Structure formats: C-alpha cells, structure tokens
Amino acid sequence: MILVINKLATEKEISSIKEKICSMGCQPHESIGINYRIIGIVGDTHNIDQSVFQKNRIIDNVIRIQEPYKKANRLFHPDNTEIKVGNETIGGNKLAIIAGPCSVESEEQILSIAKSVKASGAGFLRGGAFKPRTSPYSFQGLKKHGLELLKYAKKETGLPIVSEIMSTEFLDDFVEDVDIIQVGARNMQNFELLKELGKINKPILLKRGLSSTIEELLMSAEYILAGGNENVILCERGIRTFEKYTRNTLDLSAILAIKKLSHLPVIVDPSHATGLWWMVEALSKAAVAVGADGLIIEVHNDPENALCDGSQSVKPNRFDDIMKKLKLIAEIENKAI
C-alpha cells in the first residue's frame, strides 16, 4: 500500500502517520520526490483497512498494490485447490458436471431427471429446495421436503447433491443432507451467512452476484476461507449488463481472470447466464474451452411446465448430446469428463 502525502503536511503529522503504520505491525518506507512525498507500507497489509488512511486529511491518495484477499490469492497458494466430494474431485483433471432442475418439484420429477443425467455422465445432481424468487407470489420451493426428495434421489442414483441455502435457519439440515451447499447470486454478499459457512467443513458453491466484480466475488470467498472452510468452488453465472436479449451476460473472461488471481476451482452456469435453453450447449463448450473446472446446467424433463426457469432448462436427451460434445472439447483441454 502506498500513501501519497499532501504537500502541506507538517513533519509532526507525517511522524504520526509513520507511528500508526508501525502500530499495525508494518514498516513505513518514505520517498521524497520533487513533486510528491510518498510512504510505502511494507509488511502484511491484508488486515489494513484502506479507509483508515483515506480519511486522513494529509493523505491525498491511497494506492493498493496487493489484492485485499489473502487466502483466496494464488500468490500465497500457487497450486490449484482440489475439493473432494464423495468419490469426485472438483478442480482437478476431471470436469465437474452438475445437472438437474432449477427446483425440486416432486419425487417422480427429481428421480427421473437424476437417473437420466446420471446415465449421461453427470457427476452431481442439482435441485433447489429453497428458491430465491423475484416475486413473492412465485413458487418458493418445497423447502425441507425438497431436501428429503434430493436425499432420496441420491440414495437411488449415488449422485452427490447440490442445493441452495438462503439463510442460516436450516444450516444443520444442509450440513446433514447436502454434499455441496450453494450460495446463490443474490446472497453472495450476505456476509453473516458467509461467516457461518466458514465455520463448517462442507464444500460451498459460491455464485457471482448479479452485479459483482471479480474482486468482490473473491472477497466473499475470503469470508468463508477466513472462517476456516477451505472448500470453496466459485461460479460464473452471468452478470447484469445493458443487454436485454439474454437474461444476463456470461463473462467468460472471468474464468481466465479468476484462474490467474486465485487457486480456487471455478465453474460456469450457462443456464442462468443466458436464460435460453438453446444457448446452453454452445456456451458450455466455450466454458470448457476457456478452462472452467466444470459446469452447472439446468435440466428438466418437462420444461414447458417447470415451476421455475423452464425456458433455460434443457431436456434430458439434449443434455445427453451436450455431454457427448463436451467430451471432445475436454479432450483438447486434456481433461476428463
């Protein structure tokens, strides 16, 4: 961190800044130029809140030279993180394919979809039991009964399950019943929830917020990591832009950026990114081609009558087709599927 000192600052004021830096466990390193006087803060600056200096009247500018996240930073953890979930590993050589309906609707629905995505080669079953809906009048999910149905589908197919948590109210149920706990885009900055998830050991699938920067996503991951839970998988699910043709805009460059900045695995959700089932195949292939560690795809056996997100859900036979094509792309990337 570099502090640009105002020309009118007195020696006494500058000394007090230096003392403050020392009291934070760092060292001040001063350079005096013709036009500027700057103080570099040397040491571990992760715990330093930039605003402490920004609000000081003798400091014109505070320039951060290191990212504000530490545990999520590749700088301090050069190797890719691999997360074990049952017999599967996310972040390694094998692509994690998570597939299933937006929401669990009934026993027949979840079981039939689970069986078909498994037959096509998916490694995980997704299904929302607690749904964050824009309208309070829309289907809100089957809640605890939904989790029971997911457990049943897991028992029948062996597929580990991924489901979204919306608050800490049912945290114990999620820890007990779910293999990967999803934090949805709308809750990416629910810091109290993230802190609680930092205290458990379950893998967390953290989705990028609707209008969050990559740095904000990594800072949210940092909340979970800082609490002691190192099992965080990130997900690019499209961000809000001025474009209205698609539901969101899929930011594929985020995969490359996150891979450079962080060691955490990152997957892509082409379903929520586009809102359009017919774009899912092409963008799934693109995601694998840019180096995503996996995909989360909405699959429904009867999209026309789905209670949530039918227009972005592919049918089981199309999902099967997508898997076949992904195998080819995975091969080029030296990955298994």
Q: Among Mn ion, ligand PEP, none, what binds residue 236 when CB lies within 5 to 8 Å by partner kind?
A: none
Q: Among Mn ion, ligand PEP, none, what binds residue 184 when CB lies within 5 to 8 Å by partner kind?
A: ligand PEP
Find all residues with CB under 8 Å of 11, minimum gap 6, and list them.
none
Q: Among Mn ion, ligand PEP, none, what binds residue 132 when CB lies within 5 to 8 Å by partner kind?
A: ligand PEP
- Identity of the residue, 21 or 102, whose beta carbon is nearer to ligand PEP in the bound complex: 102
Alpha carbon separation from 85 to 79, 105, 213, 292 (Å, rounded) = 19, 25, 28, 18
Cβ neighbour number for residue 240 with a 10 Å cutoff: 13
User: Half-sphere exposure of residue 310, counting CA atoms within 13 Å on the CB side?
Assistant: 9
Beta bridge partners of 181: 163, 204
Residues within window 93-152 making contact with Mn ion, judged by CB under 5 A: 102
Q: Among ligand PEP, Mn ion, none, what binds residue 90 when CB lies within 5 to 8 Å by partner kind?
A: none
Q: Which stretch binds ligand PEP (CB under 6 A): 13-21, 114-122, 165-173, 183-191?
A: 183-191
228 binds ligand PEP, rule: CB under 6 A: no
- Identity of the residue, 53 or 130, whose beta carbon is nearer to ligand PEP in the bound complex: 130
237 binds ligand PEP, rule: CB under 6 A: yes
DSSP SS3 for 16: helix
- Identity of the residue, 123 or 184, whose beta carbon is nearer to ligand PEP in the bound complex: 184
According to CB under 6 A, which one of 62, 102, 252, 261 is a site residue for ligand PEP?
A: 102
The burial class, CB within 10 Å (0-12 / 13-18 / 19+), for 286 is: middle
Q: Which stretch binds ligand PEP (CB under 6 A): 144-152, 181-189, 211-219, 281-289?
A: 181-189
132 binds ligand PEP, rule: CB under 6 A: yes
Distance CA 249, CA 212 (A): 12
Beta bridge partners of 165: 183
Please name which of 48, 50, 30, 27 lies closest in space to residue 38, comparing C-alpha atoms: 30
According to CB under 6 A, which one of 118, 154, 272, 335 is a site residue for ligand PEP?
A: 272
According to CB under 6 A, which one of 185, 204, 292, 326 is a site residue for ligand PEP?
A: 185
- Look-up: residue for tokens 């999620």? 174
Backbone angles phi, psi at 109, to 5 degrees: -60, -50
296 binds Mn ion, rule: CB under 5 A: no
According to CB under 5 A, which one of 88, 269, 281, 309 is a site residue for Mn ion?
A: 309
Please name which of 238, 299, 306, 305 lies closest in space to residue 274, comparing C-alpha atoms: 238
Please name which of 201, 221, 200 lies closest in space to residue 212, comparing C-alpha atoms: 221
Q: Which stretch binds ligand PEP (CB under 6 A): 15-23, 67-75, 116-124, 182-190?
A: 182-190
According to CB under 6 A, which one of 28, 68, 100, 128 is a site residue for ligand PEP?
A: 128
CB of 5 closer than 8 Å to CB of 56: no
Question: Total residues at the site for Mn ion (CB under 5 A)?
Answer: 2
127 binds ligand PEP, rule: CB under 6 A: no
Distance CA 120, CA 20 (A): 60
Q: Which stretch binds ligand PEP (CB under 6 A): 13-21, 23-31, 178-186, 251-259?
A: 178-186
- Output the smallest distance, CB 236 to ligand PEP, in A: 10
Distance CA 335, CA 328 (A): 10
Residues within window 22-81 making contact with ligand PEP, judged by CB under 6 A: none
Q: Kindly list the residues in this chain that would bind ligand PEP in the complex (CB under 6 A).
A: 102, 128, 132, 184-186, 207, 237, 269, 272
